Each structure stands twice: as C-alpha cells, then as structure tokens.
Amino acid sequence: MPGFELFGDSEKAQVQSVLDTGVLMRYGFDGMRNGQWKAKELEASLSKRMQTEYVQLVSSGTAALTVALVSAGIGAGDEVIMPTFTFVASFESILALGAIPVLVDIDDTLTLDPAAVEAAITEHTKVVMPVHMCGSMANLKALKVICEKHDLLLLEDACQAIGGSFEGKPLGSYGDLGCFSFDYVKTITCGEGGALITNNEKYYRNADHYSDHGHDHVGNDRGAESHPFLGYNFRISELNAAVGCAQVERLDEFVAIQKKNYTVLKNQITGINGVTFRRVPAGGIANYSFLNFFLPTQKIAKKTHEALIENGVDACFYWFDNNWHYYKKWEHLTTLKSLGKLPNEVSERLPDYTKSDFSKSDHWMGRTISVLVKLSWSAEEVAERGQKMKSVISEIL
C-alpha cells in the first residue's frame, strides 16, 4: 500500500487509450468513444472480484459512503452507528444527508465493539457502519446478528481494506452494502475515486441515478433521460477509471506483496515481552496494509513511536494523537463548526461528545502503533526495517 508505488505500463496504456478518444466523461459521447467505456469496464471487474451483482463507481470513498446511505433511504434524523477510530469521511458522509453520526467504542480489533453497538441502538437507528481500519475487519458475524435482530442496515466501510476477506467473502460484500476508496494512498488507486457494491438491485439503481444528478440512464440520448428523483454529481471520470482498470487486475499481486512484507516485520517483533497484536476476528483475513500492535501503556506507546520515527522507521502512526482519524481531535464535529446552517435534526440531536465516555476506545488506541506496509520495499529494506523495529522496541521495553 499504496498502489501508486508500482505504477507501470498497464496504467499508462489504459490512460492513453482514453486520451486517444478525447472522451473523459463516463456518460455520453457514444460515437467518439471507439467502444471504450472504462468506468463500465472497472465496474465489471470489481463485480467479479468482489463477488457481488452490482457496482457503482463514484468520485471518492466519501462519495461512496454518502451514495450508499442515501440509496437505502437514509436521511434527516436517521442515526448511523460508527466507530471512534476512523477517517473523518465517515461522519462527513452521514452529516451530508442530515443524518446523525452516533460514535461508539472500539475493541481490540480496532473496529466497532459489538456490545457497544447494541447498547447504542435507539428507535432512530437505521444503520450500523463498521469501518475496517488499517486493513482488517470488524467482527462482522456478531454485527450481522445484531443488525438482523433490530432490522438495521449493515454498511461496510472497507475503504482501507480492499483485498481482505471474512468467512470466504471479500470485505465489503458481507453486509448489505460495501464501500471502497481508490484515492491516491489506497492499496489500489484511481488517483481519485470510489465504489459501492451490493446485491440489492434497488440500492444499486438508486445509486446509479443519484450519483449522476438523478439521470435514469434509459436510452442513449442523455438529454432525453428522465429524472425520477433528486440527485447530485458524484461521477468518476474515464481517466480515473482507466487507472483503476489497470490497478484492479493487480490487486492480488499487491496483497501478496503486502503479506510478505507484513510477515517479515511481524516476525521480528513477535516474542518481545509486552508486544501484542491487533485481533483479527475468526474467519477473517486482513489485506496486510498495516501492522498494528499494542504496547503495555499509553506512555510507553508514545515513547516507542517517537523512537521509531527518530530511528528512521517512517510511515509509522500513533493514531491516539492524530488530527484526522480519532475522535479526540474532532472538535469540528463536537462543536458543529459548519459553513452553513445544519439541519435541526443534527443541531438538536447530535450527542454531546464533549461529555462522552470513550475510555474503552482510549484503552486500545492509546497503546496502539500502526506501521504502514509498503509495496516498493526491497527484501533488504524490509529486513532492515524489521531489525530497527525490534531493536527500538526491545530497548524501550
């Protein structure tokens, strides 16, 4: 991770084929295309790889979450349960629809704690949205049982975990809807882009229309198409889709490289007294994009992180103090700093997160270090990195 590390001739050829036609938009201009429809081509490839009936490409992972939610009818006042550890896009997509993000604790999977989820359900809850952060998944089996019990939608945010699986199913395909990001730093990239997947025809049709201003895409005259409901513009371009067409064919190659490098790093620090690892739920296989491990205390974890950086172990993260990925620094959500007036449902019913007790999340995140696993490392670089990690951690512990 990320896929841009290994850009090659296939990506260049796909992009050039679009430039040769001059048609950069995914819809219309049929006669100029010479039969090339890169977005459709990528959707077909993703459908096969993710083992789902339907795929809708959009402009970003954030757009995918927004479109997925609205495709299932989520709107003003509906509550969406999400974790305290994620990227800000999770709550941005919810707020964009006037819905209410309900933060709940994580457990040692670094994702939603099923017990915390069940405790947070109210009459307004409509969706449980696990976020498979740093390449590994939530306890999807337990969450699915909860969703079925309470008649809730299970929406997988798999933006950081493409290529992983749970009980033999690709991550993103286990729930009612799944979302991916193909931005510049994801395992496979379009530069900018995202996708939602589902086996529900209604959700797919809604997503298809909504993401293109409500166009019903019936016939071959774009100007004559109908608009059965309101929509917005979340279209991906043919140029971005072209990059994705090359990258999706390399997904298994990338995951295999990540697994190899991840294993070298993990083996180096396994057995160090005081080091434990993130729990992967039974039946789950991560995509190995990050190595996540726990240290005995928050103080030791912070000191270790600083020492790793000082010793040249870059792309190493201490999420507990991160501005973008952990609730502690989300003051713009907590205080509802918005350029425009927010819906009454949000301003009146958003929980007061300044008073929330997320000590269970703090227990895990305060002791967590995450190390990015790169695709471009040589065998020597991986070995050297692993040895540095072992030396630094052993010295501190």
Residue reference for tokens 């696990």:
130
Strands 153-157 and 177-181: parallel
Whether residue 40 lies in the annotated active site: no
C-alpha 231: how far from chain center: 23
What residues does 317 pair with on adjacent strands?
A: 370
Helix axes 251-269, 379-396, angle to 10 degrees: 40
Handedness of CA 390, 279, 257, 309 (dihedral sign): negative
Task: Decide if 166 contacts 47 (C-beta within 8 A).
Answer: no
Strands (E), 254-396: 276-277, 284-285, 290-294, 316-317, 368-372
**Which tokens hold the place of 296?**
């005995």
Phi, psi of 281 (to 5 degrees): -55, 145
Identify the CA nearest to 92 among candidates 395, 346, 262, 383: 346
Identify the CA nearest to 235 among candidates 4, 24, 12, 29: 24
Q: Kindly name the residue from 38, 126, 186, 390 that is annotated as catalytic.
A: 186
Please tell me the distance from the alpha carbon of residue 183 to that of residue 51, in angstroms, as a whole number.
Answer: 22
Residue reference for tokens 């809708």:
56
Task: Decide if 178 contacts 171 (C-beta within 8 A).
Answer: yes
Please tell me the distance from the alpha carbon of residue 282 to that of residue 362, in angstroms, as a whole number.
Answer: 24
User: Is the peptide bond between 351 and the residue preceding it cis, with omega within 30 degrees of 0?
Assistant: no
Tell me how crowded residue 53 is: count the other CB atoms within 10 A of its CB: 12
**Which tokens hold the place of 155?**
């929406």
Residues 200-234 as b or e (16 or more Cβ within 10 Å = b): beebbbbbbbbbbeebeeeeeeeeebeeeeebeeb
Task: Decide if 133 contacts 160 (C-beta within 8 A).
Answer: yes
Which residues are marked as active site?
A: 186
